[in-house]
Amino acid sequence: MKYLTLLALILFSLNVPRTLLAGKLDRARGNIKQGGKSRSSSSSRRHSNRSSSDGNDPLGELLGYILISPFWITHHGLKDSFSHETYFYGAPYKHDKKGYLLIDRNPGSDNDRDDKRIISHNFQHNKSFNIKELDKVSLSLFAEDSYDINDRINRFSWGGMMDTSFRLGLETTWTHFYEELNTGSDSFIIFDVNVVFRFAQNEYAQFYVGIGGRGLLDKAGDSGGVHGTYFFNIYPTNPFQ
């Protein structure tokens, strides 16, 4: 009997770090992987339902208009046009300008030679730009760090974005989670990489939509899936300028 009791205590002690002493990251790990399985199974069910239905669906068309309304409303609200040509100053508010973009709303009007082309319009009052002074590619980087004292969890995020005058770009974000436990530590990395499209813009606001992949890098097993993103950047004007 004493050997059975000893064996039971050994098995219990081996299981303690995964039960009584498991941290928040371990529970989050389980939720992430369980959520991925649920999404994949529900996606297959939706696909089978779509393939079995025939004919037009007025409700589906209405839902489609509702889904795309944030895109075309924003696009027209900013008075955007895909015929406009876009350039970057090199940095927000550079040359004492408001915002980040210079938008040529009359492309081709002064296009004798690209290296001599001058761009000027009502949004830039104090200077006209030679096209050689502007950039067609923009690169931005970021990093941030935060720490939850109560739960002893550290979150460090870093990433970047490449944007272009052609409205297409790349965006990525990496976040490292680290938790201190009574039995040691736990950590994993969540990342996403997306191809993005700038569907609406003016000098002071840019809206993006994109698709790519999201992954979990974890010692307990990696996982990943398809990821969609929607975000915007706003550069407010200076009321004292």
What is the value of pTM for the model shown?
Answer: 0.71
Residue 212: count other Cβ atoms within 10 Å of its Cβ.
Answer: 16
Q: Collect all residues with Cβ–Cβ distance below 8 Å to 158 and sequence separation of at least 6.
A: 141, 142, 143, 144, 173, 174
**pLDDT tens for residues 13-71?**
444 444 334 577 777 777 776 765 554 444 444 444 444 445 567 777 777 767 777 78
Percent of the residues in the chain that have a pLDDT greater than 70, as a whole number: 68
Burial of 100 (0-12, 13-18, 19+ CB in 10 A): buried
Any idea of the CA torsion for 38, 40, 46, 49, to the nearest 10 degrees? Answer: -110
Alpha-carbon distance 158 to 174, whole Å? Answer: 5
